[in-house]
Amino acid sequence: MAEFKLHGFFESGNAYKVAMMLEMTGVDWEVIPVRFFQGETREHNWRDKFNELGEVPVLQHKEETLSQSGLILDYLAALTGKFGANSPTEQREIWRWILFDNHKFTGNFAPLRYLCGIAETGETPVTEFLRQRVRGAWSAADKHLANRSFILGQRPSIADLSMTGYLFYNDATGIDRSGEFPNIERWVQRVASLPRWQPPEALLPSVPRT
């Protein structure tokens, strides 16, 4: 039985953020597939047992049951001594970018990716609005990365894992990332070059969508 149990599935970029961290820190972990599209996270038993918010990822470790990817990444950084902050200033900077990620960077891209790549809604006023919001958030990150390799500077942190999680999926979203945001594109490739990195399909199981 693995020390860490991650409840998630391939389509969840937030679950992938945690899977990346678990794999890249070399801990003993396993995936518990979640039947998201069949409504498992909406079931009362699941919420009572794992996460009252009805979301993945959920990480179980010893007596802890943790949810929210940013909090889990912080927990694992403290536990493993990897990808964390070296000072209070760095800790604040990490959380500044994780909060930005949750609110705007991933916060807008994840629903755009879902509508375009999974639900396949076609173009709607909602996808147009989200795409505009994504471009605004990505522009800020692209400028930040113009003269540094990673969010903190020259070494990777959980801020990078949080922000790049959804960027390793190939769903069409109507944004030419390499053409419009070259610094982000190079940053994604740098993260993919880190030791023990694996793509989403190698770490998480895909679950039936019907």
The full set of domains in the chain, from first to last, is: 4-83+197-203 (3.40.30.10), 88-192 (1.20.1050.10)
The pLDDT of residue 58 = 98
State the Cα–Cα distance between residues 17 and 166, nearest whole angstrom: 8
What single DSSP character describes residue 52? T
Under 8 Å between Cβ of 118 and 11: yes
Proportion of the chain above pLDDT 70, given as a percent: 100
State the Cα–Cα distance between residues 47 and 69, nearest whole angstrom: 17
For residue 56, is pLDDT > 90? yes
Under 8 Å between Cβ of 93 and 159: yes
The pLDDT of residue 1 = 86
Phi, psi of 188 (to 5 degrees): -60, -40
Q: In this predicted model, what pLDDT tens digit does every residue of 121-179 receive, in sequence order?
A: 999 999 999 999 999 999 999 999 999 999 999 999 999 999 999 999 999 999 999 99
User: What's this model's pTM, rounded to 2 decimal places?
Assistant: 0.96
Under 8 Å between Cβ of 173 and 112: yes
Instruction: Classify 5 as helix, strand or coil.
Output: strand
The pLDDT of residue 174 = 96
The pLDDT of residue 26 = 98
Strand partners, 128: none
Under 8 Å between Cβ of 45 and 51: no
